[in-house]
Structure 1
Amino acid sequence: MAERREPARQLPLDLALAPSFAAEDFLVGPTNEEAYALVERWPDWPDPILRLEGPAGSGKSHLAAIWAGIAHAWRVDAFELSFSRTPHLVSNGALVVEDCDRGDLDEPAFFHLLNLARERRSFVLLTAARPPDAWGIATRDLLSRLRLAPVARLEPPDDGLLKAVLVKLFVDRQLVVDTSVVDTLARHLDRSLAAASEAVAALDQEALAAKRRITRAMARDYLARRYGVEDGDHPSP
């Protein structure tokens, strides 16, 4: 009797799509519309320094990239700041400083940057997941200056926005899925755009390997592996 063979699985290539930071790809909803409106008001800002705050995966970098495109701003990570670079960075008239709360912050350079930006009427957009009191800043004058800066806050996406993002991510990969797949994922995924992107990429790879469409069962299996939940369980708070 001939041995029964399992159907061959296609080896998926790792062709993950780079995240698009184009303005038309930023989906606006109740959790981010105020921040989006404030960023779009530029240059009519209440202050030259603006803080953009929100948890990981809430769209801070995307929104900062949109403003950078509008204002022709340079972008730099906070840990790259140094006293000697400050005049050059401010000279452009618009600057994004990313991940200000990640540690390794050169406080004298940062304080000099903010003072010089005000003096030269340059705009600075600061991104962080947490407010300045949680950055571990020892320089009181710097902390006071940051506290006074207006803030645009991004909240985790609600169900409607998360579903819209999932649909867009599937469409971007030219994948056709049933609405039950989107509903199942949205019910249990972490409330973040990063979690949505991770889930869609994983399901795309699995479907390619199995040579089949993405199904609700596949979504349930992914959720069980990734979060230890089954469809029908109550979502985590």
Structure 2
Amino acid sequence: MSQIALPLEQKPSPDQGGYLVTAANAEVHRHLQNWQDWVHHTLILTGPEASGKTTMAAAFEAESGGLSLDDAADHKDTEIFHLWNRANSEQKPLLILAAKPVSEWGITLPDLKSRLAASLHVEIGAPDQAMIDGLFQKYFAIRGLTISQDALRYLEKRMVRSYAMVLELAQKWTR
């Protein structure tokens, strides 16, 4: 009898072990650990889809007591500006997440533009080999599955090397 993996869409969460740290995101991790040193107490974190931004934000909020805004490019200028002011009035660090750089958000509010320009910007790099291996292992473990090293090598030689592709392949894999 073989095990059947149900095609349930699952994403890792902080209570399932947080996020992986490799060379691909080591700089981001360093900045998140040192949030007390952020210029204007704000960090703008950009990176590709499925690169762990939301998971990193949850870990950051739990550790620092700070605030975060996911998919900032999809929010109105006034929403971002009010959250900025709230974070400053409450003296909390603010982590702003987006898939694309600030220059592509279409910000028109001058005060917000200047504040964002003066903030620390960090980008998550493309996944390296260690990140791809670790993510496959993590996604499979979440689904109660394992993957052999041979299967990993087979997939890695034939896949587009992106965070989103690792997630997609892991979700589609069945035994």
Give, as a single letter, the amino acid of the residue that structure 1 aligns with 2:43: L
Counterparts of 1:1-237 in structure 2, within 5 Å, are 13-22=6-15, 24-72=17-65, 94-102=66-74, 105-204=75-174, 207=175
Q: Percent identity?
A: 29
Question: 1:118, 1:17 → 2: CA distance?
Answer: 35
Question: 1:96, 1:54 → 2: CA distance?
Answer: 15
Larger Rg: 1
TM-score w.r.t. length of structure 2: 0.84
Higher RCO (Cα < 8 Å, 6 or more apart)? 2
Give, as a single letter, the amino acid of the residue that structure 2 aligns with 1:51: I
Q: Deviations over 1:55-88 (max 9, x none)?
A: 111111111111011123xxxxxxxxxxxxxxxx
Structure (1/2) with the larger helix percentage: 2
Q: Deviations over 1:3-49 (max 9, x none)?
A: xxxxxx99864444442223734111111011011101133433311
Structure 2 runs not aligned, ≥5 long:
none
Partner of 1:152, secondary structure, is strand
RMSD, matched Cα = 2.5
Structure 1 runs not aligned, ≥5 long:
1-8, 73-93, 208-237
Give, as a single letter, the amino acid of the residue that structure 2 aligns with 1:58: S
The size of the alignment, in residue pairs, is: 174
Question: 1:23, 1:123 → 2: CA distance?
Answer: 24
Q: Is the 8 A contact 2:50 2:163 kept in 1?
A: yes
Task: Please name the residue that 1:91 is paired with.
Answer: none
Question: 2:32, 2:99 → 1: CA distance?
Answer: 17
Partner of 1:108, secondary structure, is helix
TM-score w.r.t. length of structure 1: 0.64
Query: How has the CA–CA distance of structure 1 residues 44 and 22 changed in structure 2, closer, same or farther, with 3 Å as cutoff?
Result: farther
Q: Once the 2 structures are TM-superposed, how far is the Cα of residue 125 of structure 1 from its aligned partner?
A: 0.8
